[in-house]
Amino acid sequence: APVPEFPAGFLWGVSASAFQIEGSLTADGRGPSSWDAFTGERGRVKDGSHAEVATDHYRRYREDVALMAELGVGAYRFSVSWSRVLPEGHGRVNDKGLDFYDRLVDELCASGIAPVPTLFHWDTPLALEERGGWLDRDTAERFAEYASVVAERLADRVPMWITINEPAEVTLLGYGLGEHAPGRRLVFDALPAAHHQLLAHGMGVQALRAAGARRIGIAVSHSPVWTAGDSDDDRAAAALYDTLTNRLFADPLLTGDYPDGLAELLPGPVAEDLKTISAPLDWYGINYYNPMLVGAPQPAADASATDAAAEAASAEAGIVDSRAGSSFGGIDIPADLPFAIRQIEGRELTDFGWPVVPEGLRELLATLRERYGDRLPPLYITENGCSYGDGPDPGTGRIDDARRVAYHDGHVRALHEAMEEGADVRGYFIWSILDNFEWAEGYRQRFGLVHVDYETLARTPKESYAWYRDLIKSGR
């Protein structure tokens, strides 16, 4: 059956980010970022790859915009590389770097596609990272300076802005667990990185508005948290996980307060900062991939058991247990966290091992409405997508990614139901237009509607691209 009809004016889009697609890391005076350094360290990226070429979008952006025009999207969400614009992270502006985004924005406008830039999608200028990065309050000030430089150049043509993408992942994966740049394993001592990104967002909003930018939002990752088991410990563990991944960011942004007990753990004049952080947003962006099933860590089975035996035992039990020092979705979980992430059973998994749960999107939107009510501004789904490795059929060259079509079909229906229940969602962006550099996974995970051959850099639209084009055309 066709997807039910969406309201006129609903915005269909696609997303990507600078470091994942651009390549040309030293072109035109770009300075290095935390991810340049991280990919250069042995063993950080699972397939040993780096992003020097990535999809070569920096040079092929016209071809990519043409693919988007053909797809019929109303908007393209990309990110600006901070260290292209300010090679040292502050101070000297590199005009040539800014020129690239100027050309990209012009190309998009000429094709009838709204440019939606994200100012920070994880690639912190290395010069700032070396001074502590997001652990340092100063990085928030530098972000505001950067935001005004970009807005002064682009605000006349950009109808919608995003300050920061997924501060939770940078905090947890970058500073907490060390799976992403800058590779720090600070566990709970990573919390200042959350606060400083939120502060950067708030200061960034002020800087953007002062430079004439309109319709400013943020892209926050959200997952419904399901409790594994029914003990009090399980419930407490799941609640803690929910607090750290969902509430830690949404609460200060939307209510002006941190969840109970957290403000005391944060540095600086937090009460003052919360006023800056909670300045009204024009809209709120949600990145949704899947729910998380969380319980209390299992007691270590046997003190004499080796790690390998413990891991084998938990694998057999279908459990990914933090105590076993195991991994979930490619992320190593250290042994000392007070919660354990479990695999959701009985669901199809993407090639990344993530469960496919379309109704999780509906649940999440209901939870956000319950929690924040009238404080929620209009919503956009700024990312939703799946990794499937389908490549060209050797005979026909066709890329039949039927599982991706099913994934998006399911999520778009769930979104429609949520909207009928009252969720004020104004748009939906698919992650991603192209296969790209998937962070610590390198090129092994493919999220694109368009396939990229990393030998030739040829782009080939997949079946999902045709499916999305038809959906956009018909509005249903």
Q: Which residues bind ligand BGC (CB under 6 A)?
A: 17, 20, 165-166, 169, 221, 287, 383, 431, 438, 447
Q: CB within 8 A of 6, min separation 6: which ones?
A: 416, 419, 475, 476
Between 20 and 24, name the residue whose CB sits nearer to ligand BGC: 20
Q: Choose between 20 and 55: whose C-beta lies nearer to ligand BGC.
A: 20
Beta carbon of residue 166, minimum distance to ligand BGC (angstroms, whole number): 5
Residues 6+ apart with CB under 8 A from 87: 29, 30, 31, 94, 97, 125, 127
Q: Are 254 and 372 in contact (CB under 8 A)?
A: yes
Catalytic machinery residues: 166, 383
CB of 221 to ligand BGC, least distance (A): 6
CA atoms within 13 A on the CB side of 195: 26
Please, are residues 123 and 18 in contact by the beta-carbon 8 Å criterion?
Answer: yes
Least distance CB 438 / ligand BGC (angstroms): 5
The two structure tokens encoding residue 382: 């700024």
39 vs 227 by CB, closer to ligand BGC: 39
Closest to ligand BGC by CB, 129 or 383: 383
Rg (CA), the chain: 21
Closest CA to 330 of 228, 227, 442: 442
Compute the least distance from the CB of residue 436 to ligand BGC, in Å. 7
CA dihedral 75, 123, 203, 128 (to 10 degrees): -160
Q: Provide the pairing of β-strand 450-452 with 379-383.
A: unpaired
Q: Identify which of residues 107 and 438 has a Cβ nearer to ligand BGC in the complex.
A: 438
State the minimum distance, in angstroms, from the CB of residue 431 to ligand BGC.
Answer: 5
Residue whose CB is less far from ligand BGC, 6 or 58: 58
Q: How far is CA 22 from CA 34, 51, 57, in A?
A: 15, 8, 4
Asked whether the bond before 432 is cis by omega within 30 degrees of 0, the reply is yes
- Which tokens belong to 155? 């605000």
Spatial contact of 388 and 401, defined as CB atoms under 8 Å apart:
yes
Q: How far is the CB of 178 from ligand BGC (least distance, A)?
A: 17
Contact 162, 154 (CB under 8 A): no
In whole angstroms, the minimum distance from the beta carbon of 168 to ligand BGC comes to 9
Is 284 or 447 the residue whose CB approaches ligand BGC more closely? 447
Torsion of CA 435, 439, 442, 443, to 10 degrees: 0
Tokens of 380: 């956009």
Q: Taking CB positions, which residue lies at the least distance from ligand BGC?
A: 166
Nearest distance from C-beta of residue 226 to ligand BGC, angstroms: 19
Identity of the residue, 174 or 202, whose beta carbon is nearer to ligand BGC in the bound complex: 174
Name every residue whose Cβ is closer than 8 Å to that of residue 256 and which is 6 or more positions away in sequence.
274, 275, 277, 278
Count how many Cα atoms sit within 13 Å of the Cα of residue 380 in the half-sphere of its side chain: 30
